[in-house]
Homo-oligomer: A and B are copies of this chain.
Amino acid sequence: MLPDGRTATVHVEGNRIEEIGRKREADVVIDGRGKALIPGLVNAHTHAAMSLLRGFADDMPLQEWLSTRIWPAERRLTAEAIYWGTKLACLEMVKSGTTCFNDMYFHMDRAAKAVEESGIRGVLSEGFIDLFDPARAEAQFRQARDVVRAIEGMRCDRVVPALGPHAVYTVSADSLREMRRWSDESGYLVHIHVAETKEEVDGSRRDHGKTPVELLDALGVLGPRVVIAHAVWLEEGEVRMLASRGASVAHCPVSNMKLAVGRAMPLAAMRAAGVTVSLGTDGPASNNSLDMFQTMKTTALLHKFAANDARSAAAGDVFAMATAGGARAMHLDAGAIAVGKLADLVLLDLHRPEMTPVHDLVSNVVYAATSDCVDTVVCDGRVVMEGRRVPAEDEILEKAAAFAAKLAED
């Protein structure tokens, strides 16, 4: 069954959907009876290796959580820990139907290796923080270039580098402008945190006389390759600014609620202005999972609640954000089950109590499905998981747990 309720055979040739309709000869046949086929979900903002810090600290205000718990633990993160943390995150993402994620963290050359091995797609940016210090900026650019070169050197279509200026309160104007130039030259996406908290916006106004979005626009940074994570504290004019520049937004409702960022992201205004909205989990230390099914449902719940209108964030719209919206934000020719699109596909098992009955498949996907409905995952035309079995799962769980325990030790 396809999202629109039709039943059809989907034929994949290479890494793309070649035909939808009649049965044909094929090397690999996956039986979809009793199952639903949806586009792979796109997690448009996360810090995957923070899986190692899942449950390490909760129920704390954002700044206190970062400064007393997360940052000290992150200082103990090694490249090897990040490799295994990313392996763990990819395993969780595969098992919950995510076929592409947009990741910002450290040692991303090692993360890239983990993504390559996982079979799904990663858009990977080395987190860039210069704290307005030119010497540090130079070192950070060197580091970023090394990581980009390493990822390019892998020559894996599924694993692509991006640029990761952390935020306007941690990255200088010069570096932000340089990021935009680099993106223009290379075509790399720019992944940045913007307007997550009121404090951030107030600070930007105080320091620059502009909000973060206004500042980014004044610096010429905004454009169609910019993915803005959070975008909670935006006014109407800023929403229109994003729309006119073609920048996309990665909405992270679970993390925003858990960290109590103070209000709901202005979703209705963004949709009205035509901003591309995608969904993200944020890192598993502030979510605490990478489950995009949960993020879809929470998106619907949050906006119905915040707008005081049960019609807000309807199931079909939310499903589109997690699929087509995410693909558009990632500049990926996927996110739909249509001829010519990349074969990033997920088969959901409908033979489960929470998926019975099927009055409306998309409603079930957004409101009733658990991530364990995911039976089979195809990415770039290859089977990544079938019948929920992923190779080397035991080793990944064991190694990741060991590295996580080390982080908590000191």
Q: Is A148 an interface residue (CB 8 A)?
A: no
Quote the shortest CB–CB distance from A117 to chain B (angstroms).
15
Whether A341 is near chain B, meaning CB under 8 Å from some CB there, is: no
Is A372 close to B, CB under 8 A? yes
Nearest chain B CB to A258's CB is how many angstroms away? 6
Q: Does A146 contact B (CB under 8 A)?
A: no
A155 beta carbon closer than 8 Å to chain B: no
A367 adjacent to chain B (CB < 8 Å): yes
> Given contacts A254-B301, A258-B304, A359-B408, could you give 6 more A-B pairs where the C-beta distance is less than 8 Å?
A89-B353, A257-B301, A260-B309, A288-B368, A370-B371, A372-B372
Contacts known (A258-B300, A260-B304); A370 close to B291, Cβ less than 8 A: yes
Please give me the residue from chain B that is nearest to A61 by CB atom: B310
Interface of A is mostly: helix
Q: Mark A272-316, 1 if CB is under 8 A from B, else 0.
A: 000000000000100111110010011011101101111110110
- CB<8 Å pairs between A and B, sample of 26: A54-B356, A56-B359, A58-B315, A58-B363, A58-B367, A59-B300, A59-B304, A61-B309, A89-B353, A256-B305, A257-B301, A257-B302, A258-B304, A259-B304, A260-B307, A260-B308, A262-B308, A288-B363, A289-B368, A351-B394, A353-B393, A356-B397, A356-B404, A357-B400, A370-B370, A372-B372
| Smallest CB separation, A31 vs chain B (Å) | 17
Judge if A88 is at the interface, Cβ distance under 8 Å. yes
Identical subunits present: 2
Query: What's the least CB distance linking A201 to chain B, in Å?
Result: 15
Contact A54 B364 (CB under 8 A): yes
Among B62, B88, B258, the residue within 8 A (CB) of A353 is: B88
Which residues of B have CB within 8 Å of A359?
A: 53-56, 404, 408
A259 contact set on B, CB distance < 8 A: 304, 310
Known: A59-B315, A310-B59, A311-B61. A401 touches B357 (CB 8 A): yes
Report, as a range, how many residues of chain A touch the other chain. Answer: 35 or more
Q: Is B289 a contact partner of A258 (Cβ separation < 8 A)? A: no
A52 within 8 A of B: yes
How many angstroms between the C-alpha atoms of A258 and B298 in the bound complex? 9
Interface residue A92 (Cβ < 8 Å from any Cβ of B): yes
Interface string of A99-139 (1 = CB under 8 A from B): 00000000000000000000000000000000000000000
Q: Contact: B301 with A360, CB < 8 Å?
A: no
Q: Select A58's contact among B56, B307, B314, beta carbons within 8 Å.
A: B314
From B54, B95, B401, B404, give the contact of A368 (CB < 8 A): B54
Contacts of A52 in B (CB 8 A): 357
Q: A62-B310, A65-B310, A310-B62 are in contact. Are A55 and B368 (CB under 8 A)?
A: yes
CA distance A302 to B370 in the complex (A): 20
Chain B nearest CB, measured from A293 CB (Å): 9
Interface residues of A in 316-350 (CB under 8 A from B): none
When chains A and B are docked, how far (Å) is the Cα of A356 from the Cα of B52? 8
Interface: A154 (CB within 8 A): no
A298-B298, A363-B58, A367-B287 in contact; A353/B396 too (CB < 8 A)?
Answer: yes
